[in-house]
Structure 1
Amino acid sequence: MNIAVVAITRGGLALGRKLAAALDRATLLEKREQVKTADLLRDNWHRFDGFICIMAAGIVVRSIAPLLEHKKTDPGVVVIDEKGKNVISLLSGHLGGANDLTRRVAAILGANPVITTASDTLELAALDLWARDCNLVPPAPRILTTLSAKLVNSGSLKFYSDKEFGSTPEGLERVLTLSEADFAISNRVYGDSDLPFFRPRDLVVGTGCNRNTPASEFKQALDELFSELGLAPGSIRNLASIDKKNDEEGLLKFATDNGWTIDFFTSDEINSLKNLEISFAALKAVGAIGVAEPACLLSAKSHLLLSRKRKWKNITMAVAQVPSTW
């Protein structure tokens, strides 16, 4: 976390120097007399992941109000009084890291950490942080807010998962059927369920293609494949292919449109895999025993193919699952 320590008084600067020295990746921003606090924060707002402001909370609130965009992108903001008695998590407590930063700073100063988010004060799971740490794609923000409110109000939530789960945070209980659950975790589509789903990013789609295949054909092939398999596209971690396709415009656009990266592998890397069916067409065209199946297995670091190679006119696709336990 790249942290800015901002102070506006002589006493605040002394405290700021102490914190900047004690924290990793912390920079002290000294306000010059002719510069407004609001301008100092505005000019540095996108340079840092977190801000420690040693000043009155009201000054900070008025200064950052025009800068706020969304809790997913706003930096964490912590406020400290000049005497270092109270450390307040003011903004982006969960995703922005302000709550954790508050605890760290309070420990350094021997101060009182002030955290007001309900899940923290009640010592319950913060669903957004839990999803991020487990590499789960949460449901829509409105639904996530509803689930979080239910957790805070009732003290517990029940969830269904079709994969093994390790320890769960306080307030979350795993159940064995969808009918018992408040939400579910799965890379599969359950057509008769209206539960909110958290999607694990544990699927890799390997693909080969003919030259100049448009992005629309990749979308059509993927939609057909995932519909037949009953898999959720929201669980796709990335695509994979052979390096000879790293300039294929349709493939690159398809990945970009969906926010996916592509892992590319050489023919030597692909040919190092054993016990795969050899594609003589791929061997002739690109010098590899195949593309879709070996590429997704290499990317996923897995031996589990959820789908063998499927063929369309210009495209081949296969799906591998990333080994994982939450």
Structure 2
Amino acid sequence: MAERSGEKRRFAVLALSRGGCVLGQRLAASLDADFFACKGRLTEVVNRVWREYGEIVCIMATGIVVRTIAPLLQDKYRDPAIVVCDESGRFAVSLLSGHLGGANDLAHLVAAATGGQAVLTTASDVLGRTPLDLWCRDWDLTPSDKAAFTKAMGRLVDHGSLTLWSRYLLPDLPPDLHPVAERAAADLVIDSRIEGAARGALLHPQALVVGIGCNRGTSASAIAGAVEKTCLQHHLAPQAIARLASIDLKQDEAGLLDFARQQNWTIDFYSKDQLNQVEGIIASAAVQRATGAKGVAEPAALLSAGPGSTLLVAKMKWTDVTTAVAEIADPLAITTLGRTAQ
């Protein structure tokens, strides 16, 4: 089941009729969900649960659900999962956010609880194609352009396969994704660089670590500007940044912590002794006097990126900020290990 934002509760079950409420209460108990009787106040309840819940079951006619949720729709990346069920429990229809939201899985759960049938209409499920949005989610791949990615999903449905080029070692691929040697010939391109794919959708892996050094009291906006300029100058995708890294003296640096929080990135902190063990770093006398470390941004980025990593961007000095970028050697394998360990 797809997990939604941690700020949202998971399941809500809504019903209108007397028979729907009987089934709804039974279903809510089965799913450990919150139940809402909605007769006379459906719009009010839907507006509330839309904000507060990640997955919603509506026991009522599909038409009234569509009319009620229509003003709330945004996109499949933000809309909650919606499953519509008749009051006899015969059919559980995945109506909205079937893949990323988890409505397809929820439909199966509802059908199992009612003894009914899950109804899925997503083309990849009907035709047996790889659900590309879920595949990308599982490998922490972020589409650079959602419209191009949607077109690629359409090609997969229409033609039965896609070609794929990757800068990094690939995991075992589904049978309908085929690796190719030429980047420009691929339908899908996995890369941390921003280079236009001739006809493909660009997917960014979690492959980069940005090392940060900064003066005391540096603002989040100053750090953000330095990171943005670093990426622009080296044609790197910010979406490919996995995390930040710095010296442990900066664990209480408000601007750095605020910047990381704004971007939803973690920060790895290292002691001066750990930083000094990294080989190949040109020592900075000024940094050594201030911190006891021969450098901060470069060695911190390399340590965080792990064994086999490379220094992709040597230290760059900005006003009050120093940046460096290390590239993780095998980001898709790291993703696999992280997912397995959870």
Q: Identify the match of residue 250 of structure 2 among 245, 256, 265.
A: 245
Classify 1:177/1:210 alpha carbon distance in 2 versus 1 (closer, same or farther; 3 Å): same
- Does the CA-based 8 Å contact 2:276-2:295 persist in structure 1? no
Counterpart residue number, 2:53: 48
Quote the offset at 1:297 in angstroms: 3.5
| Identity across the alignment (%) | 41
Determine if the alignment matches structure 1 residue 171 to structure 2 residue 179. Answer: no
Q: Identify the match of residue 79 of structure 2 among 70, 74, 80.
A: 74
Q: How does 1:293-308 map to 2 (within 5 A)?
A: 293-307=298-312
Classify 1:248/1:15 alpha carbon distance in 2 versus 1 (closer, same or farther; 3 Å): same
- Does the CA-based 8 Å contact 1:50-1:97 persist in structure 2? yes
Quote the offset at 1:153 in angstroms: 1.2
* Matched letter for residue 37 of structure 2: E
Determine if the alignment matches structure 1 residue 12 to structure 2 residue 20. Answer: yes
Q: How does 1:123-134 map to 2 (within 5 A)?
A: 123-134=128-139
Q: How many residues align?
A: 321
Query: In structure 2, how many angstroms separate the alpha carbons of the residues matched to 1:217 and 1:97?
Result: 36
- Does the CA-based 8 Å contact 1:155-1:171 persist in structure 2? yes
Classify 1:170/1:283 alpha carbon distance in 2 versus 1 (closer, same or farther; 3 Å): same
Query: In structure 1, how many angstroms separate the alpha carbons of the residues matched to 2:20 and 2:227?
Result: 60
Query: In structure 2, how many angstroms separate the alpha carbons of the residues matched to 1:171 and 1:316?
Result: 44
Query: In structure 1, how many angstroms separate the alpha carbons of the residues matched to 2:139 and 2:288?
Result: 39
- Does the CA-based 8 Å contact 1:302-1:320 persist in structure 2? no
Q: Identify the match of residue 187 of structure 1 among 182, 185, 192.
A: 192
Q: CA RMSD in A?
A: 3.1
Query: In structure 2, how many angstroms separate the alpha carbons of the residues matched to 1:221 and 1:44?
Result: 38
Q: Identify the match of residue 29 of structure 1 among 12, 31, 36.
A: 36
- Does the CA-based 8 Å contact 1:297-1:305 persist in structure 2? yes
- Does the CA-based 8 Å contact 1:306-1:319 persist in structure 2? yes
- Does the CA-based 8 Å contact 1:124-1:170 persist in structure 2? no
Query: In structure 1, how many angstroms separate the alpha carbons of the residues matched to 2:289 and 2:311?
Result: 26
Q: Identify the match of residue 208 of structure 1 among 207, 213, 218.
A: 213
Query: In structure 2, how many angstroms separate the alpha carbons of the residues matched to 1:97 and 1:192?
Result: 30
Classify 1:16/1:273 alpha carbon distance in 2 versus 1 (closer, same or farther; 3 Å): farther
Counterpart residue number, 2:327: 321
Classify 1:91/1:194 alpha carbon distance in 2 versus 1 (closer, same or farther; 3 Å): closer
* Matched letter for residue 5 of structure 1: V
TM-score (normalizing by structure 1): 0.84
Classify 1:80/1:218 alpha carbon distance in 2 versus 1 (closer, same or farther; 3 Å): closer
Counterpart residue number, 1:110: 115
* Matched letter for residue 82 of structure 2: V
SS for the counterpart of 2:52 is coil
* Matched letter for residue 127 of structure 1: L
* Matched letter for residue 138 of structure 2: D
Classify 1:115/1:192 alpha carbon distance in 2 versus 1 (closer, same or farther; 3 Å): closer
* Matched letter for residue 9 of structure 1: S
Classify 1:164/1:219 alpha carbon distance in 2 versus 1 (closer, same or farther; 3 Å): same
Classify 1:200/1:264 alpha carbon distance in 2 versus 1 (closer, same or farther; 3 Å): closer
Q: Identify the match of residue 271 of structure 2 among 267, 272, 278.
A: 267
SS for the counterpart of 2:299 is helix
Quote the offset at 1:271 in angstroms: 5.2
SS for the counterpart of 2:144 is coil
Quote the offset at 1:319 in angstroms: 2.1
- Does the CA-based 8 Å contact 2:189-2:197 persist in structure 1? no
Quote the offset at 1:53 in angstroms: 0.9
- Does the CA-based 8 Å contact 2:212-2:244 persist in structure 1? yes
Deviations, residues 56-105 of structure 1 (Å, cap 9, x unaligned): 11221222122222221110100111111111011111221111211222
Classify 1:283/1:303 alpha carbon distance in 2 versus 1 (closer, same or farther; 3 Å): farther
List gaps (5 residues or longer) in structure 2: 4-9, 334-342
TM-score (normalizing by structure 2): 0.81
Query: In structure 1, how many angstroms separate the alpha carbons of the residues matched to 2:30 and 2:287?
Result: 57
Which deviates further from its counterpart, 266-275 or 171-180?
Answer: 266-275
Determine if the alignment matches structure 1 residue 236 to structure 2 residue 244. Answer: no
List gaps (5 residues or longer) in structure 1: none
Query: In structure 1, how many angstroms separate the alpha carbons of the residues matched to 2:144 and 2:86?
Result: 38
Classify 1:170/1:76 alpha carbon distance in 2 versus 1 (closer, same or farther; 3 Å): farther
Quote the offset at 1:231 in angstroms: 3.9
Counterpart residue number, 2:100: 95
Classify 1:6/1:268 alpha carbon distance in 2 versus 1 (closer, same or farther; 3 Å): farther
Query: In structure 1, how many angstroms separate the alpha carbons of the residues matched to 2:172 and 2:270?
Result: 39
- Does the CA-based 8 Å contact 1:270-1:289 persist in structure 2? no
Counterpart residue number, 2:43: 38
